[in-house]
Amino acid sequence: MRGGAGTTRENWRTLQRLAALHLSTLRREHPDWDLETLQRHLNLPTTKLLAELAKEAGFEGSRALFSRQENKILRAMLQGILCPERIAMQARVSLEAVKKFLSENQFPYGSGTYGQVPWGGTAKEALDELPLSQPRRVSRKGQFSYKGRLYSLGASYAGSPCWIREAGERLLIHCPGRGTLTLRKR
């Protein structure tokens, strides 16, 4: 070794230790953060290394499905495919993963009889009884419509599939791979 320079492997291990130390500090400062929040605040991509380092620091992922699977499932749903078996086939995701995703996000597809929706007989009856999560696609202008109101997320979200969940006077908007945004309901 010349001038104190280590090997590539030693340098890599040193960087990993520094990253682990930084993530541990962030975990102590922000105990309520999950892996998605960490990625969003640090503007980091989803990688296996980051997931391993974050897990060692105590960060947990908020979902068992990976963002690619979520995107595939949401794309199939936005194309009008509602049956879990057909979603699994179209998205090339296991049926168990699709059912888990639908149940965790309270999509009621496949739980009603033909011609009826589980949360009401008609759109008028169901308007205030919609399921907790609603799939949407963000427009090219970065906007989406929800219950007759137009909301804007910004151009960086243009064309993204997302789902909306009501939480009191707030809307929680989850775009796979980007975490969850909170907007005030109008």
Instruction: Domain of residue 117: give its range.
Output: 64-121
Q: Same structural domain for residues 38 and 83?
A: no
Going by C-alpha positions, the residue among 159, 21, 96 that lies closest to residue 178 is 159
Instruction: Evaluate whether residue 126 is within a structural domain.
Output: no
| Predicted confidence (pLDDT) per residue in 72-96, tens digit | 888 888 777 778 888 888 888 888 8
CA distance 120 to 123: 7
91 or 126, higher pLDDT: 91
Number of domains forming the structure of the chain: 3
Residues with Cβ within 8 Å of residue 80, at least 6 apart in sequence: none
DSSP 120: B
Q: Do 40 and 69 share a structural domain?
A: no
Reported as a single tens digit per residue, the pLDDT across 101-123 is 777 765 554 444 444 444 444 44
State whether 100 and 136 are in the same domain. Answer: no
Is pLDDT of 177 > 80?
no
| Residue 130 clears pLDDT 50, i.e. is over it | no
For residue 40, being part of any structural domain is answered with: yes
Tokens 């980007």: give the residue: 178
- In this structure, is residue 164 part of a structural domain? yes
Same domain, 117 and 79: yes
pTM of the model: 0.37
Q: Is residue 1, in this structure, part of any structural domain at all? A: no
- Rounded to an integer, the average pLDDT of 129-143 is 75
